Amino acid sequence: MPVPSQIIVLVGLMGSGKSRIGKELARLLNLPFIDADREIEKAATYTISEIFERFGEKEFRRGEKEVMLRLLSGDAKVLASGGGAFIQPEIKALIKQKAISVWLKANLETLVNRTSRSNRRPLLQVKNPAERLRQLMEERYPTYAEADITVVTDQQKPQDTAWLIKTELDRLGQDKETDT
Ligand code: S3P
């Protein structure tokens, strides 16, 4: 059975591939793709870096919550969340209630490689970004592990990971059918 019309939320650390894989998955499922960070920037009319710089992380988290709550009460879509969204208890609870969550799990080397190509992530503008990512893995991986589906993204092309997620979503849909 194909996946029912749903909100699919991709969660995971910076550099785990949420946007690239999300776009591929949206194409496969014929759903719109939405990037939560871009929606936050649109709503604030500032970039993520500017929000952190001018207003601080606490205000960013407030805006992130507002935008995520709006996106989660809308139509079916593939939604790439910012790395900290699923860590906010209120956002996580709503994702659990309204969406299917997919954790894109990656190892430290992958995350360091993928994030070193850009300087648009305020949390990584530190002396030792690899150490910061390692700390975030330690803090956040137990929470990401609560997602409905986990896929490891290290050695795979975004298209292949998207196919894998689709297979897992189909399986989840079938399990739900047999439960009822
Ligand atoms: C953050 C991740 C970023 C962005 C912000 C904070 C985080 O999104 O929301 O810089 O707390 O992990 P990406 O995961 O899309 O880079």
Cα–Cα dist 39/56, whole Å: 18
pLDDT given for residue 16 in this prediction: 97
Q: Is the pLDDT of residue 106 over 90?
A: yes
Instruction: Give the Å distance between the CA of 122 and the centre of ligand 1.
Output: 8
Cα–Cα dist 153/26, whole Å: 17
Q: Is the CB of 35 under 6 A from ligand 1?
A: no
Summarize pLDDT for 63-75 with one digit per residue, the tens: 999 999 999 998 9
pLDDT given for residue 118 in this prediction: 86
Q: What is the pLDDT confidence band of residue 135, given thresholds at 50, 70 and 90?
A: very high
Q: Is the pLDDT of residue 1 over 50?
A: no
Instruction: Give the Å distance between the CA of 42 and the centre of ligand 1.
Output: 15
Report yes or no on whether pTM surpasses 0.75: yes
Q: Is the CB of 123 under 6 A from ligand 1?
A: yes
The CATH number of the structural domain formed by 7-170 is: 3.40.50.300
Summarize pLDDT for 43-57 with one digit per residue, the tens: 999 999 999 999 999
Q: Report the pLDDT averaged over residues 85-90.
A: 98
Summarize pLDDT for 155-173 with one digit per residue, the tens: 899 999 999 999 999 998 8
Q: Is the CB of 77 under 6 A from ligand 1?
A: no
Q: Is the CB of 82 under 6 A from ligand 1?
A: yes
Measured in residues, the chain has a length of 180
Q: Is the pLDDT of residue 104 over 60?
A: yes
Instruction: Write down the domain spans for the chain.
Output: 7-170
Q: What is the pLDDT confidence band of residue 180, given thresholds at 50, 70 and 90?
A: low
Q: Is the CB of 63 under 6 A from ligand 1?
A: no
Q: At what angle do helices 57-72 and 36-44 cross, to 10 degrees?
A: 110
pLDDT given for residue 99 in this prediction: 97
pLDDT given for residue 2 in this prediction: 46
| 8: helix, strand or coil | strand
pLDDT given for residue 117 in this prediction: 87
Instruction: Give the Å distance between the CA of 6 and the centre of ligand 1.
Output: 23
Instruction: Give the Å distance between the CA of 84 and the centre of ligand 1.
Output: 6
Burial 43-77 (b: 16+ CB within 10 A, else e): ebebebeebbeeeeeeebbebbeebbeebbeeebb
pLDDT given for residue 26 in this prediction: 98
Q: Report the pLDDT averaged over residues 9-29.
A: 97
Q: Is the CB of 132 under 6 A from ligand 1?
A: no
Q: Nearest to residue 5, comparing CAs of 31, 24, 27?
A: 31
Q: Report the pLDDT averaged over residues 80-102.
A: 98
Q: Is the pLDDT of residue 179 over 90?
A: no
Taking 3-state DSSP, the helix, strand and coil percentages for the chain, each rounded to the nearest 5, stand at 60, 15, 30
Instruction: Give the Å distance between the CA of 120 and the centre of ligand 1.
Output: 9
Instruction: Give the Å distance between the CA of 90 and the centre of ligand 1.
Output: 17
Q: Is the pLDDT of residue 77 over 60?
A: yes
* Candidate from 123, 126, 132, 143 with most ligand 1 atoms within 8 A of CB, to mutate: 123
